[in-house]
Amino acid sequence: MERVIKSGAGWRIGWNPHAPEFKGLVGTDDWAIELTEAELNDFCRLFAQLADTMKHMAAELMDEEKIACEAESDLLWLEVEGYPHAYSLRLILNTGRCAEGSWDDSAVPGLLQAAGMLKVF
């Protein structure tokens, strides 16, 4: 497998299997954070779980009701916040170099689709 960088309006995600330590990358047009393979795997897995939760919450909430959900592993913390059909995403790395980032609700659908297609976890 070769290096892959996918990007869209307000997001980017990458995978380089040949990198010595930081094989993953997540970010926006303005910032990026390199991730270890385990961190990228957790990011993709937890992001998919949160997106699934938001989809299921749509039936439980009134149209104007916002919600926040979070998921965490030993390596990172994610939070989605907004409406089931339009929500932002926040990331905090819990390990070593500690970093924080976020994506607007308009960037989340493309990032979610790309994260599911990286096939690294």
Token pair 């330590």: residue: 21
- Name residues whose C-beta falls within 8 Å of residue 71's C-beta, 6 or more positions apart in sequence: 46, 49, 50, 77, 78, 79
**Percent above pLDDT 70 for the chain:** 97
**Tokens encoding 1:** 């497998």
Are the CB atoms for 89 and 108 separated by under 8 Å?
A: yes
pTM of the model: 0.93
Are the CB atoms for 25 and 114 separated by under 8 Å?
A: no
Domains observed in the chain: 4-117 (2.30.31.10)
CA 71 to chain centre: 11
- Name residues whose C-beta falls within 8 Å of residue 92's C-beta, 6 or more positions apart in sequence: 76, 77, 78, 98, 99, 100
Question: Which helix H or strand E contains 43, and what residues bound it?
Answer: helix 37-57
Q: What is the pLDDT of residues 35-75, one digit of tens each?
A: 999 999 999 999 999 999 999 988 888 888 899 999 999 99
Are the CB atoms for 48 and 40 separated by under 8 Å?
A: no
Report pLDDT for 119. Answer: 63
Which of residues 62 and 31 earns the better pLDDT score? Answer: 31
